[in-house]
């Protein structure tokens, strides 16, 4: 029993040392002032702050997997919820509100982005983005179902939106009948 306690103490001290020594290396791995709506952000997670949270230090941020990475926990060394190196912490999704899409491949002489705004402009000029994901135009292209997850309260809460994109059958049938048979081709 006594030995176990000593072992635990040693482990705790080691983890604490690890936890306090790591942040200086990787605190700047994500661009702090980077905007969400950037034509060249390629990530599934929000980069940069969003107003009320001063520096985007969400629990689920990649740089904040460990509690000690969070700026609000500076000066304290948490051993209970901390993970040593080589361990994968618990993550909370912070997906982008909007991201652009690009053509893929290794043989393109030029790449196209899906949302040029308003025309093909340089990426510094402007971007189009939509604030409600189920209304994305690319969702309207075909009949399908999709789910959208919105995390709030620093990843502790999740809101799920299920959207069904379909065509009303009678109206579509009538429209197809008109456009394919009745309409004069001219």
Return residues touching other proteins (CB under 8 A). 39-40, 42, 99-114, 119-120, 122-123, 138, 141-143, 166-167, 169-170, 172-173
Q: Is 136 exposed, middle or buried (0-12, 13-18, 19+ CB in 10 A)?
A: middle
Give least dist CB 96 to other proteins, A: 10
User: With respect to other proteins, which residue has the nearer C-beta, 33 or 119?
Assistant: 119
Give least dist CB 35 to other proteins, A: 15
User: With respect to other proteins, which residue has the nearer C-beta, 24 or 122?
Assistant: 122
User: With respect to other proteins, which residue has the nearer C-beta, 24 or 106?
Assistant: 106
Give least dist CB 156 to other proteins, A: 27
User: With respect to other proteins, which residue has the nearer C-beta, 78 or 136?
Assistant: 136
Give least dist CB 113 to other proteins, A: 8
User: With respect to other proteins, which residue has the nearer C-beta, 5 or 109?
Assistant: 109
Strand partners, 149: 160
**Each residue of 1-40: b (16+ CB within 10 Å) or e?**
eeeeeeeeeeeeeebbebbeebbeeeeeebeeeeebebbe
Cβ contact 155:60 at 8 Å: yes
**What is the DSSP-derived secondary structure letter of residue 51?**
S
Cβ contact 103:112 at 8 Å: yes
Q: Are strands 144-152 and 157-165 parallel, antiparallel or unpaired?
A: antiparallel
The token pair at 115 is: 């949302």
The token pair at 74 is: 């500076």
Give least dist CB 137 to other proteins, A: 8
């Amino acid at each position: 029993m006594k030995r176990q306690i000593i072992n635990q103490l040693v482990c705790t001290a080691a983890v604490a040392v690890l936890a306090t020594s790591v942040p200086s290396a990787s605190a700047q791995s994500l661009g702090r002032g980077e905007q969400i709506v950037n034509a060249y952000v390629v990530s599934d997670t929000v980069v940069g702050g969003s107003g009320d949270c001063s520096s985007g230090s969400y629990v689920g941020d990649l740089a904040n997997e460990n509690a000690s990475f969070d700026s609000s926990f500076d000066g304290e060394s948490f051993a209970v919820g901390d993970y040593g190196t080589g361990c994968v912490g618990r993550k909370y999704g912070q997906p982008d509100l909007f991201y652009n899409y690009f053509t893929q491949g290794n043989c393109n002489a030029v790449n196209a982005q899906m949302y040029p705004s308003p025309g093909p402009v340089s990426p510094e000029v402007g971007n189009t983005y939509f604030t409600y994901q189920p209304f994305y135009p690319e969702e309207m292209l075909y009949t399908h179902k999709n789910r959208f997850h919105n995390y709030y309260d620093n990843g502790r809460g999740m809101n799920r939106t299920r959207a069904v994109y379909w065509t009303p059958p009678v109206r579509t049938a009538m429209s197809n009948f008109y456009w394919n048979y009745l309409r004069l081709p001219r």
